[in-house]
Amino acid sequence: MTRSACAIFLVLWVRLSLASAVNDYQLIAKGKICEDSARINLPCGFCGPNWGDLQDCEEQCNAKQACSHITYFEDKGCRLYSSCNSPQQQVASVAPQKTQVGTDIYKRNNPKVVTRPDGPCDILASAGTPCVAAHSVVRALYAKYTGSLYRVLRDSDKSSLDIGVHLNGFARVSDQDAFCVKTSCYILRIYDQSEKGNHLDTAPPGGYCHRPMSPVNATKEQISIGGHTVYGAYFEGNMGYRNDKTSGVATGEGEETMYMVTRGDHVNGGCCFDYGNAETDNDDDGQGTMEALYFGTSKGWGHGQGDGPWVMADLENGLWAGDQRVAPAASMNFQYVTAMAKGKKGMMAIKAGNAQQDSLQTVYEGPRPHGYERMKKQGAIVLGIGGDNSYHGIGTFYEGAMTAGYSEDAYDQLIQTNIVAAGYGQSSVVVV
């Protein structure tokens, strides 16, 4: 390992260590106590319309140095405050107060601010290759991202709900479960966590399929990541997402890096389970008009060794695991797979690895295949379909990102380390 790579890993280890602080909460009083007028309130943040449950409040309090107490109201739920102005003897016992509902008061012992470790897009930004698209249905890809991950549509009344993240960075699936009880829900939009706003909505008609694509079932695939139950985006064919009017995505010979985490045993040979750069007119515009990640067992347009599945680059009218139609790339027979592709003028790279182990393999890095020497990328983003809306591919998408720039190998490995640390397939909570 080079000195610079060692330094990068040391920084990551320090950041992970700083995030390990855990606060203890002690119930100090119960009853009709600490009336509203006596509380010194802090911003509630993402406590929700009913202020949230106890876990929500603990997460919020952990993120604020000034937060010293939590109250739980029987009528409204949990709220943060920094202290109570009532005399101590009143806080410690039941006393007549203006508030007439039961209230539990918790004290935060040994307060330390708990922050999330850097996400993949923080790492890529530090490399000088910032994300221009960051999509995930399972977790935040930035340490400070607090927005929504995706939007679900409820079948019973066609209403929708945005699914956000807990302060631990994982999807608030309890909100989804409550919203979707006794009916089906579908993922209508996957939000872009980057500042570019490149959200993915269900794909409109295209050259191959002249009708809009269907959304995925929002609860079809449940997965535990680091002990947190979340849902993957489970594609079963005829499903796909697209954005034809993007901001910041590479065009022409522009440099880019993209990665995704996918399920290794939910694949087929149909075209095409892709994530990445595609045509803006939803049609096949010829060789070099795409640069997207593909994962599956297709042998019709190029392949690797064995029976697959393979991580390949979809460059339009060709799936490439190298610069030859039949490349020496190995099959990726893992439960969860990290897939990565990079492109710049005259060059491309493909990387792959087990998302549960730290090593990331360079499948290929070198000149582009014959006929693709000059790229004509158009800058749309597709997920689950080909550039012309080919819809026969199946697969599972958890997270992925696209950058402006061709990232260095050391940072590619840091992305893999971050993915492994998230704990794909682990049922116990990962403490970082």
Q: Cα–Cα distances in Å, from 271 out to 233, 308, 337, 418? A: 18, 15, 19, 30
Give me the catalytic one of 388, 399, 408, 412: 388
59 noted as active-site residue: no
| DSSP codes, 29-40 | EEES-S-GGGEE
Rg (CA), the chain: 24
Bond into 34 cis (ω within 30): no
Structure tokens at 343: 């492109």
**Whether the Cβ atoms of residue 41 and residue 79 lie closer than 8 Å to each other:** yes
Tally the C-alpha atoms within 13 A of residue 426's C-alpha that lie toward its C-beta: 16
| Integer Cα distance of 272 and 294 in angstroms | 7
Give me the catalytic one of 59, 279, 285, 316: 316
Crossing angle for the helix pair 409-422 and 3-18, to the nearest 10 degrees: 30
| Integer Cα distance of 304 and 322 in angstroms | 8
Q: Cα–Cα distances in Å, from 430 out to 18, 144, 152, 239, 420? A: 15, 19, 27, 33, 11
Residues catalogued as catalytic: 316, 388
